[in-house]
Chains A and B, each alone.
Chain A
Amino acid sequence: AQTVTQSQPEMSVQEAETVTLSCTYDTSESDYYLFWYKQPPSRQMILVIRQEAYKQQNATENRFSVNFQKAAKSFSLKISDSQLGDAAMYFCAYRSAPGSARQLTFGSGTQLTVLP
Chain B
Amino acid sequence: EAQVTQNPRYLITVTGKKLTVTCSQNMNHEYMSWYRQDPGLGLRQIYYSMNVEVTDKGDVPEGYKVSRKEKRNFPLILESPSPNQTSLYFCASSSGERVKPQHFGDGTRLSIL
**Residue positions of A touching B, CB distance < 8 A:** 4, 6, 9, 33, 35, 43-45, 47, 50, 52, 91, 97-99, 101-109
Contacts and interface: CB of A to CB of B under 8 A. Distances in A.
Given A45-B90, A103-B31, 15 more contacts: A6-B42, A9-B40, A43-B107, A45-B104, A52-B98, A91-B42, A91-B43, A97-B98, A98-B97, A103-B45, A104-B35, A105-B45, A106-B35, A106-B44, A109-B42
Given A43-B107, A44-B106, A104 B43 contact: yes
A104 B31 CA distance: 11
A109 B98 CA distance: 25
Contacts of A107: 42
Interface string B12-28: 00000000000000000
B91 to A, nearest CB: 11
A102 B42 contact: no
Contacts of A102: 45, 48, 58
B41 interface: yes
Given A43-B88, A43-B107, A98-B97, A104 B44 contact: no
A50 B33 contact: no
A104 B56 contact: no
B73 interface: no
Contacts of A99: 96
A50 B56 CA distance: 26
A102 B90 CA distance: 16
B50 interface: yes
Contacts of B41: 108
A44 B44 contact: no
Interface string B33-54: 1010000111111001010000
Nearest to A103: B33
Contact of A101 (B50, B88, B97, B104): B50
B48 A43 contact: no
A60 B58 CA distance: 31
Contacts of B94: 103
